[in-house]
Amino acid sequence: MIEAWFDGCTEPINPGGHAAWGAVVVVDGEVVFREGGYCGVGPTMSNNVAEYSAFIAVATECLKYPGIVIIRGDSKLVVEQLNGRWAVRGDHYVPFHEKAKKLWAQLRNRSQLLWVPRDENDICDVLSKKVLLDMGIKFRIQPIK
């Protein structure tokens, strides 16, 4: 059994700030991947870019392991778009969506992609924010726990 969680954030403005992601993958109860990463800064960065980057990190890691996969994230946009229930309207996240869609196609037949409330995604929230905090980015949008 493979369980994974993902989250992204952008600060101090969205869009246009610094974007980062957090991701965790657990295989048979053992954490095999717990990472945060930096996406970039500027007008093409947004929370959606960060969330898709987090999904890409999780999916890439999940593909390394055989078995049933459950991926959870608190981004309705990512979950609903990849599950085919919401249209992609076009934005700076589209290239990230395309990459995520290709990875999801490789996992879909043995996976579920589920939306969870933010408070059920604390670890990834902390990981994504830590990337920016370690860079000295001031937070204005999201609270720091």
For residue 57, tell me if it sits in a domain.
Answer: yes
For residue 68, tell me if it sits in a domain.
Answer: yes
Q: Would the pTM count as exceeding 0.95?
A: yes
The domain spanning residue 112 has which CATH number? 3.30.420.10
Range of the domain at 92: 2-134
Pair 41, 135: CB distance under 8 Å: no
Give the number of other Cβ atoms within 10 Å of residue 16's Cβ: 15
The percentage of the chain sitting over the pLDDT mark of 90, rounded to a whole number, equals 95
Q: What average pLDDT does range 60-69 have in this prediction?
A: 98
For residue 141, tell me if it sits in a domain.
Answer: no
Structurally, the chain folds into a number of domains equal to 1
Q: Say how many residues make up the chain.
A: 145
Pair 39, 15: CB distance under 8 Å: no
For residue 127, tell me if it sits in a domain.
Answer: yes
Q: What is the DSSP letter of 84?
A: T
List, for residues 80-110, the tens digit of each pLDDT value.
Answer: 999 999 999 988 999 999 999 999 999 999 9
Query: Please, where are the H alpha helices in the chain?
Result: 47-62, 76-82, 94-107, 122-134
For residue 108, tell me if it sits in a domain.
Answer: yes
Residue 111: the pLDDT is: 97
